[in-house]
Amino acid sequence: MIYTMTFNPALDYIVEVKDLSLGSTNRTSYEQMLPGGKGLNVSFVLKNLGFETTALGFLAGFVGEEIERRVAQKGVAAAFVKLPEGCSRINVKVRNTDGTEINGMGPEIPEEKVREITEYLERQLQNGDVLVLAGSIPASMPATIYMDIMKRLVAKEILVVVDATKELLWNVLSYRPFLVKPNHHELGELFGVTFSSREEVVPYAEKMQEQGARNVLVSMGGLGAVLVDEMGTVHLSEAPEGTVVNPVGAGDSMVAGFLAGWTEKKEYGYAFRMGLAAGSASAFSQDLATKEEVENVYRETFSER
């Protein structure tokens, strides 16, 4: 089973405003509301690709109830922990303003609720299961939470995937995560460098392996992606051709595509290509990619390779 953890899920309120003007009343010309959060996005795309998952995380208030309703509506199983106070966040994303977003804070997470969800993981996960730890955490949680979870699961053979930034990512490396997926900006931030080509990424992905990561997948937007796998093979690819419509969730879709490919064939080259196809298919779509969209991008990009 694949489990996805989203500690701070949200309702994403996506709007378009023509001629946005600060300090005055603006009216939307387009609106869309979706359950959001990196782990949830991974679950949704895996579901679209035909793989069952269980979504985990914390929910609070009427927004939490709506997130839960919409997750169920998409056919994804969930085991959310309900909080007694507070309200899950709403993120406002203004689509036609070069990525302007206003993200909510999210509720405070009591210590006993953190224990509840970690005890669930210890009890529920079995050898060979996959756990995706993705995205930011509420300010009330320690920056070591991903590391703490991996430490408690170390006796089990769990394939842990981490898609996070800064300390959340760096702290887990010594616990041998199966896969880490920074983008090239996040990777550069860890090492104080910038990248302008796929080849420049490779030695720094290898440095993450030296720190403990088994496989390092680096998304680079229009520059494509890089995978340094645990067998020592370096995979480089340019980005599939297409028109970017909505990049939100593209990185999460890449994680989902990689896991789908790995689960299907246990072959890193295929998993890498599936990750690229899924990430690009979502970027080329208004919503997260469907199976047909992923297959189309894969066929058009990789069928002749």
Going along 25-99, which residue ranges are E strands? 28-36, 53-59, 77-78, 81-82, 89-94
**Catalytic positions:** 252
Q: Residue 114 belongs to what H/E stretch?
A: helix 111-124
Provide the pairing of β-strand 225-228 with 215-219.
antiparallel
Q: Where do we find the tokens 């030695």?
A: 203
- SS3 at position 91: strand
Residue 30 sits at the vertex; the CA angle it makes with 74 and 48, to the nearest 5 degrees, is: 20
Torsion angle in degrees (nearest 10) through CA of 136, 38, 151, 275: -130
Put residue 49 in one of left, alpha, beta given phi > 0 → left and psi -120 to 50 → alpha.
alpha
Give the pairing type, strands 225-228 and 100-102: unpaired
Region of 115 (left: φ > 0; alpha: ψ -120 to 50; beta: rest) is alpha
